[in-house]
Amino acid sequence: DAKTTQPNSMESNEEEPVHLPCNHSTISGTDYIHWYRQLPSQGPEYVIHGLTSNVNNRMASLAIAEDRKSSTLILHRATLRDAAVYYCILRDWVSSNTGKLIFGQGTTLQVKP
Amino acid sequence: EAQVTQNPRYLITVTGKKLTVTCSQNMNHEYMSWYRQDPGLGLRQIYYSMNVEVTDKGDVPEGYKVSRKEKRNFPLILESPSPNQTSLYFCASSGDLAGGNIQYFGAGTRLSVL
C-alpha cells in the first residue's frame, strides 16, 4: 500500500481557513485519496475523498496536485469542533478486497478561540 | 439516522472471562469490519465481513472471533481475554468497497483486561 506523510500537528485560529497537507509520492493510478477525522473520544468520521479532480462538500474541500503526489484538505472556516486528528488515507480500489483503511499517525489540529 | 452502534462503550474485565462486544448498523451495509486502536500503532484491522456468513482475518486476528449471522450485526468475541487486548475497539460498515467507498464507524468500545 502506498504511504502518506502528514505533519504531526497544526494550529489554527477559529474562523480562519486551515490547509492540511498530505504527501503521497508513491500513489498509484488506482488509489483514491480519502480523508477521515477523529474527534476526541469518538470513532473516525469520513470527511471527503477524490481521485484526480478537486472536490468540495459541506464539510471541506480537497485540492489534489496535478501529479497526484500530494493533496490538501481545506477547512474554509475552522471552528472549535474541528479540533481533531485528521487522517489522509489512500485506497486502492482495484486490489483492496479487505476494505481495510490504513490509518497513519495523522495530523492533530488544534483550533484556538 | 444512519449509524453504527457498539455496546458496551466501556468494559473492564479480568483475564480469561469470555466477553462479547456487539456491533449493529442500520444502513443495510454488506461490509463490516473491526479495528483496534492503540497508542503509537494507529488503527489495525482485526476481522472483516463481506456479507452474511462471510468473514475473514485482518491484520491482527489472534485472540478474537467474529460471526455474521445477520447483515446488521457483527459481534466481536474474546473467548479468553488477556491484558494485551486492552485497547479501544471500533466497528465500521460500508455499502460497497469501490474506491470511493465511505466507511461509517461506531463510537468505540474501551476495553480494559486486568
Whether A95 has a pLDDT exceeding 70, the answer reads no
pLDDT at B101: 77
Q: Judge residue A64's burial from the number of C-beta atoms within 10 Å of its C-beta, 0-12 exposed, 13-18 middle, 19 or more buried.
A: buried
Q: How distant is the alpha carbon of residue A73 from its chain centre? A: 5
pLDDT in tens, B69-93: 999 999 999 999 999 999 999 999 9
d(CA A66, CA B12): 50
Mean per-residue pLDDT over chain A, rounded: 91
Residue B58 near chain A (CB below 8 Å): yes
pLDDT confidence of residue A20: 98
CB contact under 8 A, A99 and B97: yes
In whole angstroms, give the CA distance from residue B74 to residue B34.
Answer: 9
* Averaged pLDDT, B41-59: 92
Identify the CA nearest to B113 among candidates B9, B12, B10, B7.
Answer: B12
Mutation target among A100, A102, A103, A105 for the B interface, most CBs of B within 10 A: A100
Res B33: pLDDT: 95
A100 with B45: Cβ contact below 8 A: yes
B108·A41 Cβ contact <8 A: yes
Asked if pLDDT for residue B96 goes beyond 90, the answer is: no
How far CA B35 is from CA of A52, A99, B30, B48, in Å, comes to 29, 12, 17, 9
- pLDDT value at residue A96: 58
Instruction: Quote the strand ranges of B1-114, DSSP E.
Output: 4-7, 10-13, 19-25, 31-38, 42-51, 54-57, 65-66, 76-78, 87-94, 104-105, 109-113
Q: What is the pLDDT of residue B81?
A: 97
The number of C-beta contacts closer than 8 angstroms across A and B is 66
Query: A11: which DSSP letter?
Result: E
